[in-house]
Structure 1
Amino acid sequence: MKRGNLKYLVLLIGIITSVQLSAQQYEEKLVVPLSKPGEKGSLEVGLIMGSIKVEGYNGKEVIVTAKAFDRYNEEGKRERTQERHSDNKTDLTGLKKISSNGFELDIEEKDNHVEISSDHFNKRIDLEIKVPINFSLELGTVNNGDIYVSNVDGNHEISNVNGDIEMYAISGSVVASTVNGKLVMEFDRVAPNTPMAFAGMNKNIDLTLPADTKATLKMDSKMGEIYTDFDAELVKSGPEVNKSTKSGIYKVSVSQSVTAKLNGGGPEI
């Protein structure tokens, strides 16, 4: 993530400022002003555990709502605490546990670039974020969460390891990948002369493009089928051979994919 002189802040959300919704959920809302309201901007979010939802709106600020959840229930934590202390023969009888249920979230803004991150690995943090429509996104999460995006216009990079990626009413370009989740893309407008890429493993990829999109599709599926309702022109091509002599080692890799042109062809997808 980018670092520099910060206009905004590093926010520590603790038990004093949190709103307790239940024994296991806490919520905090923050409005982030932009350095250049009304101009294009970008949002970068990185989580270890949790979901990310981003929605474009007709506003000039970034609005962040964070919800934190304990990963385990209180009964499970008590059991593990007792197990850990049993080896040390610590008597907990009559003692009352004091829990720290806060969570930490870093938010930084500089020149209309907003960064949000959390290093929590044992507590899920779900983020709901509203951004101006003309915002580019770089979003990533690893565990126990999905990514959902709607109504934004920009160049977007999205990754998830153990969850879905869904994007609707999107304009611009997208590079997206997920391992154990579905990938759904619905474009209102595709950026001209800009290549895009979509990769998934174990679940479906569903791509919807405007009817007049000019693109060259390179498609490959290891253990599945490819379907389309576009009037695509299939292009006959042989295996793609890549050679490399890097570090004194001669290496050749051969791959085969299906190529099709939409409306005469265009940027590669």
Structure 2
Amino acid sequence: MKTILMALIAGFMIKPALAQDIDVKVDTRQLEASVERIAETAVEHVMAGFGDAHHSKSEKLQEQSTQEVEIPLTNPGERGTLKVYSRNGRIKIVGYDGRTVKVKMIRYGKKVSKSSDKNGMRLISNGGFNFEASEQNNNVKVENEGWNNRVDFEIQVPKNFDLKVESYNNGHIDVEGVDGELDLESYNGPITMTNISGSASASTYNGAVKAIFTSVTADVPMNFDTYNGDVDITVPGGTKFSTKMKTNREIYTDFESFNLIQTKPTRNRDPRRGGTSIKIENWVQGDLNGGGAEVTMKTRNGNIYIRRG
């Protein structure tokens, strides 16, 4: 891989040298940016291939065991809050027309062996679930602290619920059909929100952030942040917000009523040493339908999309 990237870089670097001989102007900054983008894309594709192969191989060596619990609410029918903390595993939360919180846990472990090894021993169990749940006044907490064994959560909550979700390894977070304030954070995995209403804040490192709103709470700031992946937001046509966006790639929208605003420099004075510093940050600002609450969208290796629902 390193050899291929070095060859690509060398190919680009030859062009400026030739250009100098024939007196052609070449923007080396643009060439460097192109090389960086090619390198990033190549690495992403290679790592994705390794990841797929790794998961496919590991899944063949694993088996699943499931367990389900139902958590009653102190005040059924009233708004509640669900907090989920997982160190290793995917989390899927779906809103439903119910009055309890239903939790399904899927635990992954080594396949139980029917034959003995060379020492005359065979695997008969991978142990139990490392799981804890609590409820108080419609505040529900679900937690899995285990790092070594992956446990996926499939959770059903009443539709009028607020969510605070944190996941780390295998940290895909998927939320569907929930009306509330959503605070989602992952490290290794995309975050997807479908047919949600209310407000949301979503942050991850590896993976895209995607949200499809049926309605957006007015005057509530929101944030969508990733390092590797697209930020893709869909809102109803009449939604109003002001946005700050940052990316090394492109920004797209199908809203005709989206207007860009020129970024203004910031001035700072240092009273101790004297003098003034002027700074223009690499943010793109704009207003949707005249502007409103601030919505921040940020990615390094991905595009930003603002779609009309």
Residues in 1 aligned to 2:159 and 2:84: alpha-carbon distance in whole angstroms: 17
Give deviations 1:153-174, integer Å, cap 9, x for gaps: 1111001101010001111110
Alignment of 1:115-194 (within 5 A): 115-194=141-220
Counterpart-to-counterpart distance in 1, 2:170 and 2:224: 21
Equivalence for 1:230 = 255
Q: What amino acid maps onto 2:250 in structure 1?
A: E
RCO higher in structure (CA 8 A, sep ≥6): 1
Distance 1:243 1:198, change over 3 A: farther
CA distance in 2, matches of 1:243, 1:254: 15
Please list the CA deviations of residues 114-135 of structure 1 after superposition, one character each: whole Å capped at 9, or x if unmatched.
Answer: 0000111111101000000000
Rounded to whole Å, the distance in 1 between the matches of 2:192 and 2:284 is 24
Q: In structure 2, how many angstroms separate the alpha carbons of the residues matched to 1:252 and 1:52?
A: 44
Q: Which amino acid aligns with 2:286?
A: A
Contact kept, 8 Å, 1:239 with 1:256, in 2: the verdict is no
SS, match of residue 158 in structure 1: strand
Q: Which runs of 5+ in 2 are unaligned?
A: 1-60, 272-276, 296-309
Q: Within 2, Cα distance between the matches of 1:55 and 1:136?
A: 12
| Residue ranges of structure 1 left out of the alignment (5+ in a row) | 1-21, 80-91, 246-250
CA contact (8 A) 2:112 2:123 kept: no
> CA offset at residue 235 of structure 1?
1.1
Q: Determine the C-alpha separation between the residues in 2 that align with 1:239 and 1:108.
A: 49
TM-score (norm 1): 0.78
CA shift, 1:238, in A, is 1.8
3-state SS, counterpart of residue 128 of structure 1: strand
Q: How many residues align?
A: 227
Cα distance change on mapping 1:63 and 1:25 into 2, 3 Å = same
Coordinate RMSD, CA, aligned: 2.5
Instruction: Return closer, same or farther for 1:244/1:256 CA change in 2, 3 Å cut-off.
Output: farther
Residue 59 (structure 1) aligned to one of 91, 98, 101? 98
Partner of 1:212: 238
Native 8 Å contact 2:86 2:144 kept in 1 = yes
8 Å contact kept, 2:84–2:141: yes
Give me the TM-score of the superposition, normalised by structure 2.
Answer: 0.68
Question: SS in structure 2 opposite 1:35?
Answer: coil
| Amino acid across the alignment from 1:200 | T
Indicate the percent of aligned positions where both proteins have the same amino acid: 37
CA contact (8 A) 2:100 2:158 kept: yes
Q: Distance in 2 between matches of 1:243 and 1:129?
A: 52
Name the CA shift for 1:97/1:66 in 2 (closer, same or farther; >3 Å). Answer: closer
Deviations along 1:154-203, one digit per CA (max 9) or x if unpaired, are 11100110101000111111010111011110001101110001001111
Matches for 1:1-40 after TM superposition, within 5 Å: 24-40=63-79
In structure 2, distance between residues paired with 1:167 and 1:243: 43
Q: Please say if residues 244 and 252 of structure 1, whose CA atoms lie closer than 8 Å, have aligned partners that are also in contact.
A: no
Q: CA deviation at 1:230?
A: 1.3
Which has the larger share of helix?
2
Cα shift at 1:99? 3.3
